[in-house]
Structure formats: C-alpha cells, structure tokens
C-alpha cells in the first residue's frame, strides 16, 4: 500500500468514524479503491455502496458528507463527490516522485506483496495423458496454470505445482492390447511417443474387432490395477517414453513442476477412499457399478467403480484431493482444466462436500476454452493433432526470419528468436479471457506492431537501448519534480497499478488481466517516448526521464516474468 492509498484510506476511516460513529478496517477500505475510467473524474475513486447498509445512509449522501470534511494534504489536493463515488485528485509531482522511488527501490520485487504469507496454494495444471504427444490442445492448461502459480507466488503464497499425469485408466489397457497385437514387430517397436500414438489411434480404427478388443482392454487395465507384472512392465515403458518427450517440451516453455504425482500415485489408496464413501452411506449400486447418486442436485451419478471394479477419474480425484489436503493443508486448490470438464468437477466437488469435507469451498475449477485452427478442434483419438513441439519450433523459425529482416546484424539472433517465438505463443494464449476459445493465426501472434508478445518485448528492448545510449545507470536520486508533462503523470499512474493488476489477476484466476495491463504500460510508455525527447541538453531533466523509462522497463520485465515470458535485452 503506497502513501497515496494510505492517505486516502486514513481519511475515509477517520471521516466515517467522526461523522457516523462507525469503525471501518483499513483492509476493508483499501480494497475498495478504484481507478476511474476517465482521469477527468479523478485519480482514485471510492465507491460508497458498501458503506450504505452499515451506515444506514444512501451512497450519495455518504459521498457528499465525506467530501465536505476533506482538507488538502501533501498527497491529495481535492476530493469531489460524484453520485455514489468519492473521487480523489492527487498532486502530480508528489505522485510521480512516490511511484518512481518505490519502483526503483524495490526493483525486481516491485508488484510483490505478502498478502498470502503463511498460506498454501496447490495448482493442478498441464496433466497430459502419457503415451500421447503434447499437442496444442494441451498447451492452455500448462500456460494458464504456470501464470496462476507465478501470480500467487508474487503475492507471497507458498505454491505447490502438481502435474497430475493421466497415467492410469482403461486407455492403458487399450494401449497394451494394441502393443500386443501390432507393437512387437520391427516397424512398431515402441521407442518413441509417435509409435505409441500410432498404436492408440490404430486401436480405435479397428472396428472389425472393436467389441472384443474393448473387453480385452478392460481386462488388461484390471490386471494393471491388481499389480500384474507384464502389465506393469509395459505401463512403465510407456510412461518413461512419455516423460522424456514431455520434459523436452516443458524445457522449451521453461515450465517446472514441484510434483509429477499422476493418477497412478493414488492406486493403493483407492480402496480406502471407496470404503470411506461407503461408510457415509453415499455409495449405491447402479447396473453393478458403484456410484454416488446426485439426482437431487440435477446431475448424473458420480461413477466411482465400473462393474468390473476398475476405478474411474472421480475416484482418483476424490482420493487425490483428500491426500493433498492432508499433505499440504492448502488455502486454495486450483484445477486448471478445460471447460469441457465442467460437469465432472461439479460432480466431484459435490461428492467431496457430501463426504463432509467442508474445505471443498476452497477448491476451484479454473476452466478455459479450446485452441482452434480454422475453427477445428483436435482429437488424439482421431489422429488429427497439431503437435506442440512443431508449433513452438515453427514460431521460433518465423520469429528468426522477421529478426533477420529487421536487424540482420543483431548478436545472439538464435537465442532472441527463441525468446520471441516462444513468448509470442504464451502471450497470445494468455491475452484473452481464458474461457474464450483461441483461434490461432500467425499474422496476429507475431505482429511486432500489434498487441502481441513481440510488441511488449520490443518496447522493453527499446528502453534498454535508450538507457545504454545515455551511458549512465539510472539515478534513484534524480530530481523527479522536473517531470511535469501530462504523459509523464499518466505513465506513472499506469506503473503504480502493477501491484493491483497482480492481485486482481490472481484472485480471479485470470492472467489476461496482467497481460492487458502490460499492454497499457507499453501504450503509455510509447506515447510518452514518441512525444518527448528522453535524452536532451538538459542533464537534470534527462536524468529524471531516464529514471522514469527505467521504471517502465522494470515493470514490463517483472510482468513478463510472472507470465512466463523471457525478455531479450536487445531486438
């Protein structure tokens, strides 16, 4: 909380106390502060709706009463009542000085807070099925989950990132059947994930023997659950091949996980979970399958065990949730899984609730839309996929070509092309609200002049170039009172909102808030850069302006790092 927010918060608290004889908490008031949509309305706005019930007055009367009590301070020059809002006008010179001092003092830590200190957040993300390529439709969970992890870490939470691998289930029975039937000849000996994927696709194309093969697959998975040696050997082979492939792609995206505890990790705990549910009286038989009836909640039954006694997703998810609560005692548990699984999570969360787990209120399904090429969705079963590795490599290739055309003498072009190509994919995925489908188009993603990752990276690189041209390190003791232009005040106001953007993005599980904030910073910075000379004959003014653009550079870099995007120093 900066000095301006403290000043406003203190004024509201004291005014309400003296005028209405009511106590308000600092956090309650500070959390309400907004930035008006038009700067002519004020620099900060305090909505009085929340106070109305407590004070038994209309928001408009509260606003007018508080405005009448205001006396100018060293931070705030005026307060105006506008309907139910109390709007504050700051002193620009003092504001710029305060913001720039804070950014330069905190550096890489600017934007961070201790809001979540002592609290733990578990984030379940990426979670691909083994024995399949990482394809484009796997990308969103990984990128959104990584950003949510970093956002919460910036707020001081202890974050636990779990890659809940899909390494269990009937599909592995299918793969074993396919391997036994076709996989032991020279052509299909499985030593890479491409071969495993071909076997899986071939299983589903063999319609002639479909019924018998499905039965055989269920039998093999049951053997795997029961510890059959041959089934376990093949399952481990498939998993090892898969993990080698996954790690290669995760390295390209610079993604790391604290745990790779997939569905198989919970196999030995499942009987206890089912027995626990049975004791609650929730377990019912339906067509010889074990279920939790959810009719009264307008949902289909939650399936726990098939008629052959094999476990299902819900069984393993219930078991995993209870294990994680016991192991990590989380404040929040976040599942970053596509919107197509909404019903599953409604059923799963309701089952946890009916079992008496009151902490289920802290579990959140963070859903998201599809990635589409020309409005087509992709399916591994049909073999129609765009591989994530191919997409990333193509983006790097295209970025390299653009860099070669724009700046052929640039050093470390290959590394910069990697940063720009990968960053463009990540930025594009996170820019729009996560529930929206992403329609992929190269001309949008790698446009250096549009609202893209390369545009933001280039803005920061250009600031580096100006600072290097100046030749001296940015001076934290520069005379910021010389910064009197409207664009300087607007830029400082935009920079000041970085901690707010982080908090809002984390609380709403919406990385697009952070990404669009960075676009706002770049827009304000580039307007300033295009309208004013940074380096001039006035040494003191130059020093102040270099410090200002250094703060922009710092905020852009901090934000990209949270988003999971690397920042080239030159472009």
Residue 62 lies in a domain: yes
H/E run at residue 336: strand 332-336
**Of 90, 119, 139, which residue sits at a domain end?**
90
CATH number at 48 reads 3.30.1360.70
pLDDT of residue 204: 85
**Of 64, 90, 116, which residue sits at a domain end?**
90
H/E run at residue 560: helix 539-563
Cβ(511)–Cβ(505) under 8 Å?
Answer: yes
pLDDT of residue 185: 60
Could you give the number of structural domains in the chain? 2
Residue 571 lies in a domain: no
Cβ(184)–Cβ(116) under 8 Å?
Answer: no
Helices (H), 289-412: 313-328, 342-354, 388-406
Task: Name beta bridge partners: 332.
Answer: 121
Range of the domain at 516: 388-563
Label residue 42 left, alpha or beta by phi (over 0 means left) and psi (-120 to 50 means alpha).
Answer: left
What sign does the dihedral 493-504-24-158 (CA atoms) show?
Answer: negative
Distance CA 547, CA 535 (A): 11
Cβ(516)–Cβ(494) under 8 Å?
Answer: no
Cβ(367)–Cβ(339) under 8 Å?
Answer: yes
Residue 170 lies in a domain: no
C-beta atoms surrounding 571 within 10 Å:
24
Cβ(303)–Cβ(335) under 8 Å?
Answer: no
Phi, psi torsion values for 114, nearest 5 degrees = -115, 25
Phi, psi torsion values for 45, nearest 5 degrees = -135, 140
pLDDT of residue 210: 76
Residue 310 lies in a domain: no
Residue 113 lies in a domain: no
Residue 29 lies in a domain: yes
**Of 90, 111, 136, which residue sits at a domain end?**
90
Residue 346 lies in a domain: no
Distance CA 93, CA 345 (A): 51
Using the 8-state DSSP alphabet, how is residue 128 labeled? P
CATH number at 405 reads 1.10.730.10
Residue 440 lies in a domain: yes
> In tens digits, what is the pLDDT along the chain, a chain of 571 residues?
788 989 999 999 999 888 888 888 888 888 889 999 888 999 999 999 988 888 889 999 999 999 998 999 999 999 999 999 999 999 999 999 999 999 999 999 999 999 999 999 999 999 999 888 888 878 999 999 999 999 999 999 999 999 999 998 888 999 999 998 887 664 556 678 888 888 888 888 876 777 888 889 989 998 998 899 999 999 999 999 999 999 999 999 999 999 999 999 999 999 999 999 999 999 999 888 999 999 999 999 999 988 877 778 899 999 999 999 999 999 999 999 999 999 999 999 999 999 999 999 999 999 999 888 765 554 444 445 688 999 999 999 999 999 999 999 999 999 999 999 999 999 999 999 999 988 888 888 999 888 999 999 999 999 999 999 999 999 999 999 999 999 999 999 999 999 999 999 999 999 999 999 999 999 999 999 999 999 999 999 999 999 999 999 999 999 999 999 999 999 8
Distance CA 202, CA 106 (A): 57
């Amino acid at each position: 909380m900066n000095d301006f927010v403290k000043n406003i918060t203190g004024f509201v608290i004291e005014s309400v106390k003296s005028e209405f004889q009511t106590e308000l908490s600092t956090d309650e008031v500070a959390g309400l502060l907004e930035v008006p949509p038009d700067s002519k309305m004020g620099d900060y706005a305090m909505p009085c709706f929340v106070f109305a019930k407590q004070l038994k007055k209309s928001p408009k009367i509260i606003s007018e009463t508080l405005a009448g009590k205001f006396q100018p301070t060293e931070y705030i020059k005026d307060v105006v009542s506008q309907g139910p809002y109390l709007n504050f006008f700051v002193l620009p010179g003092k504001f710029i000085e305060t913001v720039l001092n804070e950014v330069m003092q905190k550096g890489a830590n600017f934007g961070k807070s201790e809001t979540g200190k002592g609290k733990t957040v578990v984030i379940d993300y990426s979670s691909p099925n083994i024995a399949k390529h990482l394809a484009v439709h796997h990308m969103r969970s990984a990128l959104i989950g990584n950003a949510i992890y970093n956002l919460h870490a910036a707020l001081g939470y202890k974050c636990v990132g779990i890659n809940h691998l899909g390494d269990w289930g009937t599909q592995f029975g299918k793969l074993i059947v396919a391997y036994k039937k076709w996989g032991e000849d020279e052509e299909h000996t499985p030593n890479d994930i491409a071969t495993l994927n071909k076997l899986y696709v071939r299983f589903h194309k063999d319609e002639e023997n479909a019924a018998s093969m499905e039965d055989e697959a269920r039998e093999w998975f049951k053997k795997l659950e029961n510890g059959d040696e041959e089934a376990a050997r093949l399952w481990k082979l498939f998993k090892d091949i898969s993990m080698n492939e996954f790690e290669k792609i995760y390295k390209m995206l610079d993604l790391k996980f604290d745990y790779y505890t997939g569905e198989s990790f919970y196999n030995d705990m499942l009987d206890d979970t089912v027995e626990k549910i049975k004791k609650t009286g929730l377990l019912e038989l339906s067509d010889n399958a074990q279920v939790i009836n959810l009719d009264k909640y307008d949902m289909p039954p939650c399936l726990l065990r098939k008629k052959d006694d094999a476990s299902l997703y819900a069984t393993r998810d219930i078991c995993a949730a209870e294990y994680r609560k016991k192991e990590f005692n989380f404040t929040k548990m976040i599942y970053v899984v596509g919107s197509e699984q909404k019903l599953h999570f409604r059923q799963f969360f309701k089952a946890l609730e009916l079992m008496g787990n009151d902490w289920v209120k802290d579990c959140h399904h963070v859903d998201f839309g599809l990635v589409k090429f020309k409005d087509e969705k992709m399916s591994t079963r049909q073999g129609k996929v765009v591989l994530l590795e191919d997409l990333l490599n193509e983006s790097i290739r295209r970025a390299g070509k653009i860099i070669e055309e724009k700046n052929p003498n640039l050093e470390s072009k290959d590394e910069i092309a990697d940063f720009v190509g990968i960053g463009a994919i990540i930025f594009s995925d996170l820019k729009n609200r996560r529930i929206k489908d992403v329609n992929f188009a190269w001309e949008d993603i790698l446009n250096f002049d549009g609202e893209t990752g390369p545009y933001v990276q280039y803005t920061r690189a250009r600031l580096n170039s100006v600072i290097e041209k100046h030749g001296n390190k940015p001076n934290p003791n520069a005379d910021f009172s010389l910064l009197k232009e409207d664009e300087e005040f607007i830029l400082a106001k935009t920079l000041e909102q970085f901690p707010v953007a982080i908090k809002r993005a984390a609380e709403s599980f919406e990385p697009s808030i952070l990404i669009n904030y960075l676009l706002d910073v770049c827009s304000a910075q580039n307007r300033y850069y295009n309208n004013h000379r940074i380096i001039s004959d006035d040494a003191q003014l130059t020093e102040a302006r270099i410090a200002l653009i250094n703060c922009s550079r710092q905020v852009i870099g901090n934000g990209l790092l949270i988003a999971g995007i690397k920042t080239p120093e030159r472009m």
